[in-house]
Structure 1
Amino acid sequence: MHPALSVILLTTAIGAGQGLFLAMITGQLYAIAHFLPVQEGQFYAFGSLLALAFLLAGLGASFFHLGHPERAWRAIAMWRTSWLSREVIVLPLVMALAFVYGVAHAFSWTRPLFQIGDALQVDLTLLLGISGTVATLALFVCTAMIYAAVRFLQEWHTPLTVSNFLFLGTASGFMLAAAYSAYLGNPLVTFYGTWAVILTAIGSISRFMHLRRNDRLKPKSTLQTAIGIRHTQIVQKAQGATGGSFNTREFFHGRDQRLVQVSRYVYLTLILPIPVLLIGLSYVITSPRLPIVAFCLQFLGLMIERWAFFAEARHPQNLYYQSVS
């Protein structure tokens, strides 16, 4: 498949935004449970607004691959059957919850609404945080299922696609939370950095399993099955056209297959070992810059990973257009 830059930016940016929103909520829950020091409302407010900025950037990028952006609102019409329609509905909901969550903290709307048991006092921010967690997880599933539900693309049609989007997106968000904390000089950089390392490790294992699975796939469609002739030696001489077309541009990446193979080593290195080393080193020397560098490098690695995710998918129509592609 052809990796469109707008789709790469969309999926990586909203993944980081979702992960950062979850990180803010997680920090608040740990503080409620007295595992972390309570932070001022401004910490959660600006963190949520930063998450909203990434979500808005991803949403803005999505318009660049639409032929008629003015008709984008029609995407919600097929919500009963289309994961894309569901994503279009859930994404603005997550953005709204992130915004209201940040505003609630900024204006200290933390007066308890009711109490559960002897200790848990539930306020507006906690209710918004729980709602935001559910909506964010739903958005991860909707985005991933757009690709995992495509059955004829064997490389995507697996639960590992959902796992990759969920854990890698959440990992980048927690890494961003560590960078945000380091920039402010907040001691939570250790908490967020540690969770970022754990989630990155889980996401990397999931992606590695995905790669191993894809390497072992046997194509269901071949030249023999496409034309109904079972001869062992069939060679296509021409595709029947003298120039390129939508099919040759959009369903094949047009790069040397060796580039796809090399990209694996590049993004696996940028996603896991380098950020983990930088985060660990930042603990030792107490550097406010290393977590920021770690996030930037990991985000770059995730963009390369998303490019490879699309490039690795072999569309069956390329059996016909292979002489050009």
Structure 2
Amino acid sequence: MRPAFSVVFLTTLCGAAQGLLLALVVVQCLAASGSVPAPAAAFYIAGAAAAVVLGALGLLASFFHLGHPERAWRAVAMWRTSWLSRECLALPAFLALAFLYGCGHLLGWPAGAVLVLGLLAVLAAAVLFVCTSMIYACLRFLQEWASPLTMVNFVLLGCASGCTLATLAAACFAPGLTGLMAVWACVLTAAGLVSRLASLVRNARLHPKSTLQSATGIRSDKIRQVSRGFTASAFNTREFFHGKTPGTVQTVKYGFLLGAFVVPFVLLASSLPQAYAAAGPMSGLIVLLAVAFLIQYAGLVAERWFFFTEARHPQNLYYQRAA
């Protein structure tokens, strides 16, 4: 498939926002139970603000994927049957609840009410993860996507990047939590690497279910394709094939494995001694965590690009091959 960068940024930005909000609410639940020291309100306010900004940027990016942005409101019309329509409803709901959650901490609302808002935002984030991933996992004719690993990867990669950003927020506003958040980010990053490697191994073993024989109904073994059907570029040749060389695709694959998983994990792990020893915000630690998040996000952009390119649309058996 041809990657659409509007969708690449939509899914990666919103995934990080969802993971960040989930981390904030988990911390608040632990603080309420006395398991961890209660962080300053600035930790929640800054985190919620970052989640809203990231989600809003993802929503803005999605408009560039529309042929007629002025008709965007119609995207919700098929919510009974379309995962895309459900995503269009879940994302604004998540943003609204994340905004109210941050406002609750900023304005000093009762802790119980703010926690309820946070739990509702977590529910909205979970629904959004399901809707976004099912847009692709429900397409049975694209074997690379039609797997439970698609949803697992969307959830783990979003939570990993969000938790890395939450670690940065802790270093700035709640130094006592930085070590714990860094451990969570390492665990989620490692889990994301395992699940993504599992999907790569699975997809490498797939074989096309369609052939020239099954497409034409001609059972001869000597069928030879001499034309792709078009003498010039057309929708079928533009939208269902990425047009990149196998070498480029392989380079991107190894690049995202390093950028999204290996390098951030090493940086997060290397921050642990300083994180646990820090008595207050430290500029060196903050810079290290900021670099870890930026590298991880760049790796996730490459991962999502690869996610689209590795999906082999059956129509390419005809339109992308010529003798």
Per the TM superposition, whether the score is higher than 0.5 is: yes
Matched, 1:241 2:230: yes
- The alpha carbon displacement at 1:27 in A equals 0.9
Aligned to 1:314: 312
In the TM superposition, residue 285 of structure 1 has moved relative to its aligned partner by 4.2
Structure 1 distance, partners of 2:220, 2:254, is 38
Query: Partner residue of 1:17?
Result: 17
**Where does residue 154 of structure 1 map in the other structure?**
143
Instruction: Indicate how the Cα distance of structure 1 residues 110 and 185 shifts in structure 2: closer, same or farther if over 3 A, else same.
Output: closer
What SS is found at the alignment partner of 2:233?
coil
Tell me how far apart the structure 1 counterparts of residues 233 and 68 of structure 2 sit (CA, whole Å).
23
* Counterparts of 2:185 and 2:49, CA distance in 1: 20
Between the aligned partners of 1:48 and 1:239, the Cα distance in structure 2 is 51
Code of the residue aligned with 1:171 in structure 2: it is A
Question: Comparing 200-209 with 13-22, which one deviates more in the overlay?
Answer: 200-209
Q: Report SS of the residue matched to 2:160.
A: helix
Residue 219 of structure 1, aligned match among 208, 216, 228: 208
Kindly provide the amino acid, as one letter, of the partner of residue 245 in structure 1. A
What aligned pairs does 1:80-91 form with structure 2 within 5 A after superposition? 80-91=80-91
CA deviations 1:3-40 (Å, max 9, x no partner) are 01111000000000111111111110111121211122
Counterpart position of 2:44? 44
Aligned to 1:35: 35
Q: CA RMSD in A?
A: 1.3
Name the aligned partner's letter for residue 228 of structure 1.
G
Q: Give the residue type in structure 2 aligned to 1:14.
A: C
Matching residue of 1:251? 240
Question: How far 1:291 moved relative to its partner?
Answer: 1.0
Residue identity opposite 1:109 in structure 2: W
CA distance in 2: counterparts of 1:188 and 1:229, whole angstroms: 66
124, 132, 143: which one pairs with 1:135?
124
User: Number of matched residues?
Assistant: 313
Gaps of 5+ in 2: 276-284
Rounded Cα–Cα distance in structure 2 between residues aligned with 1:21 and 1:238: 52
- The offset of 1:218, in angstroms, is 1.6
Residue deviations 1:207-256, cap 9 Å, x none? 11111111111211111111112233332111232210111111000000
State, as a whole percentage, how many aligned pairs show the same letter.
51
Per the alignment, residue 282 of structure 2 pairs with none
TM-score (norm. length: structure 2): 0.94
Cα distance in 1 between the residues matched to 2:241 and 2:207: 19
Determine the C-alpha separation between the residues in 2 that align with 1:261 and 1:235: 29
**Residues 55-66 of structure 1 aligned to structure 2 (within 5 Å):** 55-66=55-66
TM-score between both structures, scaled by the size of structure 1: 0.93
Q: Is the 2:229–2:318 contact (alpha carbons within 8 Å) kept by the matching residues of 1?
A: no
Contact 1:182–1:292 (CA<8 Å) still a contact in 2? Answer: no
Q: Which amino acid aligns with 1:221?
A: S
Secondary structure at 1:178's aligned position in 2?
Answer: helix
Cross-structure match for 2:281: none
CA positional deviation for 1:183: 3.5
Residue 93 of structure 2 is matched in structure 1 by: 93
8 Å Cα contact 2:137/2:151 also seen in 1: yes
Alignment of 1:147-186 (within 5 A): 147-184=136-173, 186=175
Residue 301 of structure 1 is matched in structure 2 by 299
Q: Distance in 1 between matches of 2:269 and 2:259?
A: 15
Paired with 2:113 and 2:179, the residues of 1 have a C-alpha distance of 27
The question of 1:275 aligning with 2:259 is answered: no
Query: 4+ runs of 1 displaced by more than 4 Å?
Result: none
Matched with 2:280 is none
Task: Report what 1:68 is aligned to.
Answer: 68
255-264 or 171-180: bigger deviation: 255-264
| Structure 1 unpaired stretches of 5+ | 112-122
Deviations 1:183-215 (A, max 9, x none): 446222212111111111111111111111111
